[in-house]
Homo-oligomer: A and B are copies of this chain.
């Protein structure tokens, strides 16, 4: 007698999980260790494993087992029923994107990515445009197919792939109040900050010593170096599976904070992954609940926990220890001023937390117009520049600082950008409740104690894996549905505080 359908499915998905882990390592290595000339060889390996993963997931046997298991869920626990739902979701997504489309997209995005690099090097959007057009066409096909399969509007189907259960309704509900409040708040903040000049944080920060500092802080945060690594790469990222999580950052010899905060942002992702339910670690229900929640965890750590006075109090002596940095410019208020400086800039990845959502709104608007055909790809650069001027009051003078700055569209990631802004709103809402529930948090953080913080996050977020939808998780954790209200309260309090209160704090 063979095992019950549900048990057989667990075995199948355990194998798929191992494939995903192997793919994660191939990608990590490509970004951190691989010799430059080996990209073609690696490309073949990734394609072979992805093709096989797709074939295993869409095999008729999986569909049959899912039908049988879902027809009779008697005797299954709620985690198992949720696991079946997530298995079905993964299978539906894979079935909806046939192997031929996946392969055409892989080739088109591979070409587009290399043309994007070339266009950036030469500062010419027109080199990239025809290749982006091809990608847009294929993503449009994919969105239509996914939408049919998931019973969603095409763009919502793309969002659903990254942030399951969230749609343009949720995104618009966040963006509407933000696009009203942020422009004036940015003006007020900049005006206020101009009245509080900062002393520059000068110094030399050799990479080896930065590494030692970052390692010390990550250990305090709880990152397990016996089951994870810290490395350097061109852009910080987190890759791997719980049990082998790898974080990267990039060190700037003239400024200690980009490397430290980049690593802590990624550590936020890693701690989420590490807090996922251990007993479900190789099953779909044991995975993270999508990119919006992922981003909420990295932003909560970087923006709310680390760009704060308590964290500055904790980290100042460590910076002094590792670099001998002292003097008045290293006083708490001056350092905190640097970590919370607001300015209108052209580059998303360099943006502060007030201007960042405006960068996202622009991309959200443009990518929907590209997919609907309302905006022709050839007019993207102009649309971008006009949008930047309208939203942030500054206009790029070249495409590298404009519509060529992000890799996302080149690699076919449409519907991904909103997860950054959704993540910001989720982070603020969670952090508000967390602070209400955790007495003495600031004192703990100032002592470098992160245990209480992560206990709350594990109970209310990490430990739930993919068991419940984001909205339900948020309702249970904060008592409220997702909205921008907490974020607005948070940034108003943080950026409009009077000089007096800031000195007293």
List residues of chain A with CB under 8 Å of any chain B CB. 14-15, 17-19, 21-22, 25-26, 29, 33-38, 40-42, 44-45, 47-49, 51-52, 224-229, 241, 243-244, 282
* Inter-subunit contact B48/A15 (CB<8 Å): yes
Cβ of B229 and Cβ of A18 under 8 Å apart? no
- The docked-state distance in angstroms from the alpha carbon of A34 to that of B38 is 20
**Chain B nearest CB, measured from A248 CB (Å):** 13
9 tightest A-B contacts by CB?
A18-B48, A38-B244, A41-B243, A37-B226, A37-B227, A22-B45, A18-B45, A18-B44, A21-B45
The answer to whether A243 and B22 touch (CB under 8 A), given A35-B225, A48-B15, A226-B35, is: no
A33, B229: Cα distance in complex, Å = 9
Nearest chain B CB to A476's CB is how many angstroms away?
A: 30
Give 18 pairs: A residue, B residue, CB < 8 Å, sorted on A.
A14-B44, A15-B48, A17-B44, A18-B47, A18-B49, A19-B49, A21-B44, A21-B45, A22-B45, A22-B48, A22-B49, A35-B227, A36-B226, A37-B243, A40-B243, A41-B244, A42-B244, A49-B49
- Known A-B contacts A29-B25, A29-B29, A48-B15; the reply to A37 vs B224 at CB < 8 A is yes
A18 to B19 alpha-carbon distance, docked (Å): 14
B37–A21 CB distance below 8 A: no
Minimum C-beta distance from A385 to chain B (A)? 38
Closest residue of chain B to A21 (Cβ to Cβ) is B45
How many monomers of this protein are in the complex?
A: 2
Since A21-B45, A22-B45, A33-B33 are in contact, a sample of 6 more A-B pairs with Cβ atoms closer than 8 Å, ordered by chain A residue number, is A15-B48, A18-B48, A25-B45, A29-B29, A38-B227, A52-B52
CA distance A36 to B42 in the complex (A): 25
For A19, give the chain B residue with the smallest CB separation.
B48
List of B residues within 8 angstroms of A22 by Cβ: 22, 26, 45, 48-49
Residues A241 and B41 in contact, CB atoms below 8 Å apart: yes
Complex contact B35–A229 (CB within 8 A): yes
Give the distance in Å from the alpha carbon of A37 to the alpha carbon of B241 in the complex.
13
Q: Say yes or no: B29 contacts A41, CB within 8 Å.
A: no
Q: Which of chain B's residues has its CB closest to A40's CB?
A: B243
* Cα-based distance from A18 to B22 in the complex (angstroms): 13
Nearest CB in chain B: distance from A132 CB, A:
28
Which of A14, A47, A243, A282 has its CB near the most chain B CB atoms (within 10 A)? A243
A56 CB, nearest partner CB in chain B, Å: 8
B-chain residues with CB within 8 Å of residue A225 when the two chains form the complex: 35
Contacts of A47 in B (CB 8 A): 18
Query: Hey, which chain B residues are within 8 Å of A49, CB to CB?
Result: 18-19, 22, 49
Closest to A228 in B: B35
Name, among A33, A40, A42, A51, the residue most crowded by chain B CB atoms within 10 Å (CB to CB).
A33
Task: Select the residue from A14, A35, A47 with max chain B CB neighbours within 10 A.
Answer: A35
Contacts A15-B48, A33-B33: A243 and B21 contacting too (C-beta < 8 A)?
no
Shortest beta-carbon distance, A46 to chain B, in Å? 8
Contact A243 B38, CB 8 Å, known A25-B25, A29-B25, A33-B33: yes
Q: How far is the CA of A493 from the CA of B45 in the complex (A)?
A: 48
CB atoms of A21 and B35 under 8 A apart:
no
Which chain B residue has the least Cβ–Cβ distance from A48?
B18
Closest CB of chain B to A38's CB: distance in Å? 4
